[in-house]
Structure 1
Amino acid sequence: MGRAEERRARQRGGRRAAPKRRRSSGTAGKSGIRRLFTWKKILGTFLGLCLLGMGAFIVLYMVIDIPEGNADAKRQSNIYQYSDGSIMARDGKVNREVVDLARVPKGVRLTFVAAENKTFYKDAGVDLKGTARGLFNTVAGRGAQGGSTITQQYVKNYYLTQEQTVTRKLKELVISLKLDREKSKDYILAGYINTSYYGRGAYGIQAAAQAYYRTDAEKLSVAQGAYLAALLQAPSQYDWAVASDNGKKLVKARWNYVLDNMVDEGWLSASKRAGMKFPVPKDPKPAPGMEGQKGYLVNAANAALERQLVAEGAADSAKEAEAMVNAGGWTLTLNIDKKKQAALEKSVRRQLTSKLDPGKRKVDGAVQAGAVSVNPKTGAVVAMYGGEDYFKHYTNNATRSDYQPASTFKPVILAAALEERARTQDGKPITADTIYDGTSKRPVVDNGSKVGFAPENEDDADYGPISVQTAMNKSVNSVFAQMGVDVGMSEVVKVAGRLGMDTENMEAVPAQTLGSMGASPLEMAGVYATLDNHGKKVTPALLKSAEHLNRTVTMPDPVGDEVISREAADSVTSVLTGVVDDGTARASVRDNPLRDGQPVAGKTGTSDNNKSAWFVGYTPDLVTSVGLFGEDPKTHAQVPMYKAGGQPRVNGGGFPAQIWAAYTFGVMGDVDKFDLDTRQGAAVRPTWTPTPSQSPTQEPTREPTTEAPSSSPPPTTQEPSTTPPTKPSSSPPASTPPTKPSTTPPDDGGGPFDPIKPDEDE
């Protein structure tokens, strides 16, 4: 301070003030912390955070609703069963079949509660301590932690995902609380055991029961249930088939833990517990798949279900119905008889595929077989052959309709003639013994005018005057072409539709008499089943029943009303017995050593240029349609089958009839007679048997018939008709007079399982 300042200070009468002292920094810091972190502030902050957390939770509770289940959790497999209830196949990305809790024994249900959440029936659906621990570990990056309730695990499986995030865990907590309030404990437990993963690709208790014990969930024992409940902790590690020694010790310990908890809770008596032994699971078995014929059967069953869903209004469109079926969860029981299915597959393998050698003959690789077997009394499809293997040829040959049925259509023409009481051009009633002109390439006439159609008979053979019965036996094209016009092709098409053929695109023209439309083995089996069923409509049904959880789809009755008279249907059956006993199917069917006197009706067919060959035959109890189709394996175009299997031509009386006979006579049971209501006799004996009047054409791929048709009378079950023969219809007989009956059998193909010669129509 200078002198001037001292002087001013004396003048004010004061003394110079001493300088102020500064507090140390340490003392000042302690004083500030005390003022900032008082117990009141700490308590207030804690309470504030609690209120904030509560408020946030209330907001979350109000904002978060119980969502729809996620798609993966809902996805199930479809189960396909044989008619006896045994499993045929499972189809779906997820091996899961949801079952009602009522179908699971109570003791088995409680094993899951004892394993995962003993307080399940008492708690509010959440474990706050476990959830808090899980949240902390998630934030700390320590991964997944246990401790959740059954409700929380179900919420995670069904409504959420398996991701480990704070957001997901908070949602899990809220949804679990809400779900526990809105749903029953049984609902939650059912959801839990149906969505959990048990290993071996099995989701849900039903799939797990099949995977580990090859039984249904409703048949599980408590001991088995305890093992499945124990599995949920570590499915892969605890799978007995692949577990290490340590893994086996751990799962046994877990199994004991489950059962001991049940005793502690009073859910299992100590005495029963003491008597339980560890139920060692069966070895893993591949789930039935789509290989072989199963893929064809599964797809055909799905298609049938989809059609019915649309028909009953459950789906608005075919696309929607398909989506419903593909979503899974269906149990489809087929009418397929397991033994008959195996027999049909065996017959095709032995009578056809074992004789084909694509390496030796390229054409052998183009031969496709399809077959359908139907019970005519019930309409049930008891066996179906779709092709060599679903994974090798996806098109189902049993249901495809792009090949001509050829002469298997001739019985439809006769049925129409008998049903409509049609007459020939000269006014004679058409019956089994009506005489027609069997001249090859004979022009068809209508009211005296040629209609511009003159079909060629097989091998261009002329038969001259010939009865309808013999014309059916020998499959004479010229006779049935004229008969179709006599009946009226529009009437023929109408009767074909009533019998079960798809006539939407079938033109009413004479050329259709050769079976030039498309048809499937399934379709033709239905036509012949209707004939076998005395004229009552049979619509072959592959699907027996379909169930989805608590819903059952009602399938229509395969057997309907009478569509043609019994007399007409039975008369056709009578005539068709002649095809077997004195016609083109004689060698493969009549002379088969397994026949044992069984009456058989049927018809062969070979299409234009040998692109298809058929035999559709039936006994009183079984109708089976067999078709062979020439298909280029690369382009899938229709191709001829000449020289396939080492034969000059594939005829209906050859491989198809051989397949039919080996199958039918192997499964037919006791011999049964046809009960026919007809005035025309059974396989009416022709008045005479004509002989071809000219040599067949010689073509490199069409072998000539070298022997005359037979006049050997077929066996009858009734007296032959005594109606005298009429004049040939529409034109005079061939110039060559009839010869004496020949005792030489027709060239119909040799022995029942020997190489065949062509004698069929084309």
Structure 2
Amino acid sequence: MGRADERRARQRGARRAKPKRGGSGRLFTWKKLLGALVLVGALGVGTFIVLYLLVDVPEGNAEASEQSNVYTYADGSLIARDGTVNREIVDISRVPKEIQRAFVAAENKTFYQDNGVDLRGTTRALLSTLRGDKQGGSTITQQYVKNYYLSQEQTVTRKAKELIIALKVDQQKSKDEILAGYLNTSYFGRGAYGVQAAAQAYYGTDVEDLTVEQGAYLAALLQAPSSYDWAVASEGTRKTVLERWNYVLDNMVEMKWLDGGERQGMKFDEPGAPKPNPGLDGQAGYLIQAAEAELAAAGVDEQLLAARGWNIKLNIDKKKQQQLEKAVEQTLLDELDPEKRKVDGHVQPGAVSVDPATGKVLAMYGGRDFVKHYINNATRQDYQPASTFKPIILAAALDTGAETQDGAPILPTTVYDGTSERPVEGSDTPFAPPNEDDVDYGPVSVQKAMNSSVNSVFAQMAVDVGLERTKQSAIELGLDAEAGGFDVKPAMSLGVMGASPLDMAAVYATLDNHGEKVTPRIIASAERDGQEVELPDPIGDQVVERETADTVTSVLQGVVNDGTASGIRSERLNFAGKTGTSDDNKSAWFAGYTPELVTTVGLFGEAEGGKQVTLSGAGGGGRVNGGGYPAEIWSAYHDRVLGDGTAAEFDLVVDDRLAETPPPSRSPDASDEPDPTTSAPSAPPDTTTPPPPTTSSPPPATSSPPPPDTSSPAVTLPVPEGEPDRPGRDGERTRGTG
């Protein structure tokens, strides 16, 4: 062997002996990784093929089969069975082409081109289901399959079946048949199943007569039928509805189904007043409506709820419910005569009664009759709570340690200037609210200002606390942040936002519960097919200090002892409360509570078409004040349900420095209140100088505030849209004495 051959042999040997870079190189090569992916993909495809062969299109399950939802009182006795299915099947030929396209534009723009499924959307939905969340992503075909062939449960198995059946249905049926099935099986709210029932429920017309604007609303509605119902939606939700409506129309333009110029001229067509299902007359329909709203808020799918088969027990105490109904009927309705006085037909009462220790809604009055007036007056948020908002301002002041403009702490003994139309100080927005009947109270303590509901004092106090902080406190105590008119302006102090009796019951129950948040709950339990809905705890965190809540309660006892609610003062009950009467007398309120029960009563002036009108003249009297019918209803109800036992005492923890002792009980004296039939007096009803603070208390805001400059022109408040120019005249006296 030559040298060259030996050298080549050594090189070959070296190459053979060269160590490997690592053991993983052989185990995880790109070829093996690719092979594994191919294998997994093949297994997936194989599994899908097997499932495709094994899963057949089932017979249409009759979610069409008629079931009922059973609603019972707390004691198990029956309230109602809700089982009437409002549906009329229509052929696709009856649905105008532009209405069909509105639904396609809203739910599935590729409907006419796809094979019945959206793999990307379905994958997202499957992953979401595995995480325990709810996620959309279904095509119209898949939604039809879910509605007609399967169930509403969100499981991986059901999703997989939905995918396969949708593919087969797309092969077996035309797009028109699938779209017709979808339109006839979908739930639109208001008890309406299918597009024909929806057209009647929302616009009082047949489907073939719907306009594009109306069809776009019905298409938008399917995303959240109850929440998007224009008649009961909050201001914030209405904005969302309009965004969804615009989205549908814009998609139609994008798909060349609607002319862009025609679309620009379109305006939203508000749906008409709801027409409830028969058989839910009296208070039953209101209770069911409130319960369904609570379930929806707890995350129960509306389609699942509408599928029937539920057993729902309410917290409603049957005896208390009956007594609340009697109190409204005998105290108010029996005195009204719509044939004699037109205004009597405009009076809409609503009330809620809550156990502050448990949060249970024990009684609810929604209106005269659910089949005659669909809107629940106990839960509606479109009327102002007026001066029932004032205790919230005081609670915010006490809880934050707020000070007056002069740097003095705000306490019940603090003295403010109660001059009517006094411009507030420290606000970027001018505001000079008049007191009731333009009464000038002069130097007045916070306690007396609450007793007499002095607007000028609480307008200044809200500014002293800070308007943002005042709103935050209101929300923490129980008001809805999305309620209409809840703007951060000084006018907020007069309760110009929207609120319901249920909202105000939450606020006052939280005060009664020593500052622990109470979220009233009407449902005790809800069960279907052995599965019970998990509901949130109605008792929450401490949102204001106990001392704050108890001090407000102490102050509100003064309203009953020597204030605007003194007409219902009782020797048998210990209670606190606040009256409220909105501008132009469109609403009148009393929110009151004993240690064991909180009840709010509201009267609302509503003419035909839902227009807000004055209550003045109802029952043959003058102005309807919170101390009149609302307080009298409250008193009649509480006497019936609590009056036979020993009066419970409030367990209050109040710093001695914070409490101004309420005046001793005395018989109401009409001479102490201005007579509304005469001109406004130039002096306050009670000119007695308020008692000075105790020696241990900090000094009041001012011992003698200077009167406003009467030579200056009155400051006019910019008020929320739709409100009168003079906000917040607060008619707070007992009916018969003003």
Provide TM-score, normalisation by structure 2.
Answer: 0.59
**Alpha-carbon offset, residue 504 of structure 1:** 3.5
**Alpha-carbon offset, residue 721 of structure 1:** 8.7
**Alpha-carbon offset, residue 554 of structure 1:** 1.3
Residue number among 465, 479, 482 corresponding to 1:487 in the alignment: 465
- SS of residue in 1 equivalent to 2:556: helix
Give the distance between the partners of 2:396 and 2:704, measured in 1 at CA: 19
Whether contact under 8 Å (1:577, 1:683) holds in the other structure is no
Whether contact under 8 Å (2:606, 2:612) holds in the other structure is yes
What's the counterpart of residue 252 of structure 1?
none
**Alpha-carbon offset, residue 733 of structure 1:** 5.2
Whether contact under 8 Å (2:555, 2:662) holds in the other structure is no
Residue number among 290, 302, 308 corresponding to 1:300 in the alignment: 290
Give the distance between the partners of 1:440 and 1:712, measured in 2 at CA: 17
1:318-376 CA-to-partner distances (Å, cap 9, x unmatched) read xxx22111110000000100000000000000110101111111111111000000000
What's the counterpart of residue 648 of structure 1?
622
- SS of residue in 2 equivalent to 1:635: helix
Query: Does residue 347 of the first structure (1) align with residue 327 of the second (2)?
Result: yes
What's the counterpart of residue 554 of structure 1?
534
Larger Rg: 1
**Alpha-carbon offset, residue 636 of structure 1:** 1.5
Residue number among 348, 351, 374 corresponding to 2:354 in the alignment: 374
Whether contact under 8 Å (2:356, 2:596) holds in the other structure is yes
| RMSD, aligned α-carbons | 3.4
Whether contact under 8 Å (2:405, 2:464) holds in the other structure is yes
Matches within 5 A, 1:425-574: 425-446=405-426, 451-504=429-482, 506-574=486-554
Q: Return closer, same or farther for 1:335/1:549 CA change in 2, 3 Å cut-off.
A: same
What percent of counterpart residues are identical?
57
What's the counterpart of residue 659 of structure 1?
633
Query: Aligned pairs, how many?
Result: 465
Q: Return closer, same or farther for 1:543/1:720 CA change in 2, 3 Å cut-off.
A: farther
Residue number among 84, 92, 108 corresponding to 1:93 in the alignment: 84
Provide structure 2 residue ranges, at least 5 long, that are not aligned to the other structure: 1-52, 87-147, 150-276, 665-671, 711-730
**Alpha-carbon offset, residue 457 of structure 1:** 0.2
Residue number among 367, 370, 383 corresponding to 1:387 in the alignment: 367
Give the distance between the partners of 1:558 and 1:348, measured in 2 at CA: 27
Give the distance between the partners of 1:729 and 1:481, measured in 2 at CA: 19
Give the distance between the partners of 2:695 and 2:383, measured in 1 at CA: 37
**Segment drifting more, 505-514 vs 649-658:** 505-514
Whether contact under 8 Å (2:422, 2:708) holds in the other structure is no
Which one-letter code corresponds to 1:605 in the other structure?
A: G
Which one-letter code corresponds to 1:671 in the other structure?
A: A
Which one-letter code corresponds to 1:675 in the other structure?
A: D
Give the distance between the partners of 1:603 and 1:670, measured in 2 at CA: 23
**Alpha-carbon offset, residue 712 of structure 1:** 9.7
Residue number among 661, 667, 671 corresponding to 1:684 in the alignment: 661
Whether contact under 8 Å (2:478, 2:507) holds in the other structure is yes
Residue number among 249, 265, 290 corresponding to 2:280 in the alignment: 290
Q: Return closer, same or farther for 1:444/1:749 CA change in 2, 3 Å cut-off.
A: closer
Give the distance between the partners of 1:734 and 1:619, measured in 2 at CA: 39
Provide structure 1 residue ranges, at least 5 long, that are not aligned to the other structure: 1-61, 96-157, 160-286, 311-320, 688-694, 737-746
What's the counterpart of residue 590 of structure 2?
615
**Alpha-carbon offset, residue 466 of structure 1:** 0.1
Residue number among 278, 300, 309 corresponding to 2:299 in the alignment: 309
Matches within 5 A, 1:579-728: 579-587=559-567, 589-590=568-569, 595-632=570-607, 634-668=608-642, 669-680=645-656, 684-685=661-662, 704=680, 709-710=685-686, 723=697, 726-728=700-702
Give the distance between the partners of 1:722 and 1:490, measured in 2 at CA: 31
Give the distance between the partners of 2:382 and 2:709, measured in 1 at CA: 40
Give the distance between the partners of 2:466 and 2:704, measured in 1 at CA: 15
**Alpha-carbon offset, residue 513 of structure 1:** 0.2
1:211-270 CA-to-partner distances (Å, cap 9, x unmatched) read xxxxxxxxxxxxxxxxxxxxxxxxxxxxxxxxxxxxxxxxxxxxxxxxxxxxxxxxxxxx
**Alpha-carbon offset, residue 408 of structure 1:** 0.3
Q: Return closer, same or farther for 1:65/1:301 CA change in 2, 3 Å cut-off.
A: same
**Alpha-carbon offset, residue 507 of structure 1:** 1.8
Q: Return closer, same or farther for 1:748/1:558 CA change in 2, 3 Å cut-off.
A: closer
**Alpha-carbon offset, residue 450 of structure 1:** 7.2
Whether contact under 8 Å (2:478, 2:503) holds in the other structure is yes
Q: Return closer, same or farther for 1:400/1:77 CA change in 2, 3 Å cut-off.
A: same
Which one-letter code corresponds to 1:92 in the other structure?
A: G
**Alpha-carbon offset, residue 503 of structure 1:** 2.1
- SS of residue in 2 equivalent to 1:365: helix
1:551-606 CA-to-partner distances (Å, cap 9, x unmatched) read 1111111000100100111110110000011100001x20xxxx343211100000
Give the distance between the partners of 1:619 and 1:465, measured in 2 at CA: 31
**Alpha-carbon offset, residue 68 of structure 1:** 4.5
- SS of residue in 2 equivalent to 1:309: coil
Whether contact under 8 Å (1:335, 1:381) holds in the other structure is yes
Give the distance between the partners of 2:687 and 2:471, measured in 1 at CA: 32
What's the counterpart of residue 383 of structure 2?
403
Provide TM-score, normalisation by structure 1.
Answer: 0.57
Which one-letter code corresponds to 2:549 in the other structure?
A: A
Which one-letter code corresponds to 1:301 in the other structure?
A: A
What's the counterpart of residue 80 of structure 1?
71
Give the distance between the partners of 1:652 and 1:361, measured in 2 at CA: 21
**Segment drifting more, 508-517 vs 85-94:** 85-94
Whether contact under 8 Å (1:425, 1:729) holds in the other structure is no
Q: Return closer, same or farther for 1:569/1:438 CA change in 2, 3 Å cut-off.
A: same
**Alpha-carbon offset, residue 67 of structure 1:** 3.4
Give the distance between the partners of 1:698 and 1:653, measured in 2 at CA: 15
Give the distance between the partners of 1:494 and 1:336, measured in 2 at CA: 31
Give the distance between the partners of 1:468 and 1:376, measured in 2 at CA: 26
What's the counterpart of residue 272 of structure 1?
none
**Alpha-carbon offset, residue 548 of structure 1:** 0.2
Q: Return closer, same or farther for 1:712/1:466 CA change in 2, 3 Å cut-off.
A: closer
Give the distance between the partners of 1:604 and 1:89, measured in 2 at CA: 34
**Alpha-carbon offset, residue 309 of structure 1:** 2.6
Give the distance between the partners of 1:398 and 1:703, measured in 2 at CA: 36
Whether contact under 8 Å (2:438, 2:680) holds in the other structure is no
